[in-house]
Amino acid sequence: MGELSRLKSTLYIGALVLMWGISWPVYKIALNYTPPILFAGMRTLVGGLLLTMTIAPRYKQIGWRKNWRIYLVSALLNAFLFYGLQTVGLRYVPEGLFTVLVYLQPVLIGILSWLWLKESLGAGKVIGLILGFVGVGVISVSSLSGHIAPIGIVLAIGTAVSWAIGTVYVKKVGPQVDALWLVAFQCIIGGVAMTLIGLASESWSSIVWNGLYVSGLIYGSVFGIPISWALFYTLVRAGDASKVASFTFLVPLLAIVLGSIFLHESVTLSLFVGLVLIVVSIYLVNRTKRRRAIDMVDQEVGA
């Protein structure tokens, strides 16, 4: 796959951030008309199946016998826990707050990469990690004293932790598997598991098949999973992974703006302060990654 032009790269990144940002208020609205686990399972399963249909001609790259353990672990971390905790947690806290906490993921990756992948921690990354945890503390303490259920904070942080562990795991084993088949299988396996649990613990008849719910289901199944991941890997293969990472801090900002406009969620001073700290944190961590990537490219060119 050839390199993308600067215009295409910018458009793809903008579309990816937009899809991620929109997904939070869309899911929050849809959850008013559906049990959470069934909703998470159905959109994840359908999204995985749609992606599978798209990449079916690449079936020789599956390598199931060799890679089935990787598919299962990734499904547990990046689909079952990530989407499951996310969808349940959105019922307890405003989507803006939930998104801010979930997007601690890049900060947590810095710690896990240092512990697991033996990556170095520079001064900028350390400062970013400290600011991130301070931001979470500011938001959590103020939220616990208000109307927001503590379980929502726990689920949001659990979502971030599962996503971070899953991302580092995929980074470690990534060269062994085809990236798109990894996404497809983790969504299908995780989606089947969540749907079965939902059918056993929730009521199918509780789903209100109105326009808002169906729109949320379609959005998650089409844009939230296959299209966004296809864009992501297009950017990665074109050499834009570091740029994508540096722009993820825009997602919680977009989610909070959309939440305040469409869901009438309030933006308190403590939430704003915590948000600023987390955004600065994520920026510092990702900027450090981008500089290291540039240095590596320079070394390869020089060699």
Nearest Cα to Cα of residue 241 among 117, 125, 62, 106: 106
8 A C-beta contact, residue 266 and residue 260: yes
Cα radius of gyration (the chain) = 19
Q: What pLDDT, on a 0 to 100 scale, did the predictor assign at position 237?
A: 61
Please name the residue ranges forming H helices in the chain. 6-30, 36-55, 64-75, 82-89, 95-102, 105-116, 123-144, 150-173, 179-201, 211-222, 228-237, 241-247, 250-262, 269-302
Show pLDDT as tens, one digit a residue, over the chain (303 residues): 446 777 888 888 889 889 988 988 899 899 999 999 999 999 999 999 999 999 999 999 999 999 999 999 999 998 999 989 988 888 888 777 787 788 777 778 778 878 887 777 778 778 887 888 788 777 766 655 556 778 888 999 999 999 889 888 887 887 788 888 988 999 999 999 999 999 999 999 999 999 999 999 999 999 988 888 778 767 756 654 445 555 666 777 777 778 778 777 776 777 778 778 877 877 777 665 544 544 433 443 343
Q: What pLDDT, on a 0 to 100 scale, did the predictor assign at position 219?
A: 96
How far are the Cα atoms of 34, 74, 185, 234, 259 from residue 264, in angstroms, in the given order? 21, 36, 37, 35, 6
Q: What pLDDT, on a 0 to 100 scale, did the predictor assign at position 296?
A: 38
8 A C-beta contact, residue 103 and residue 160: yes
Q: What pLDDT, on a 0 to 100 scale, did the predictor assign at position 123?
A: 80
8 A C-beta contact, residue 200 and residue 38: no
Q: What pLDDT, on a 0 to 100 scale, did the predictor assign at position 60?
A: 92
Which DSSP string do the residues of 51-65 spell out, in sequence order?
A: HHHHHGGGGGG--HH
8 A C-beta contact, residue 101 and residue 157: yes
Q: What pLDDT, on a 0 to 100 scale, did the predictor assign at position 243?
A: 52
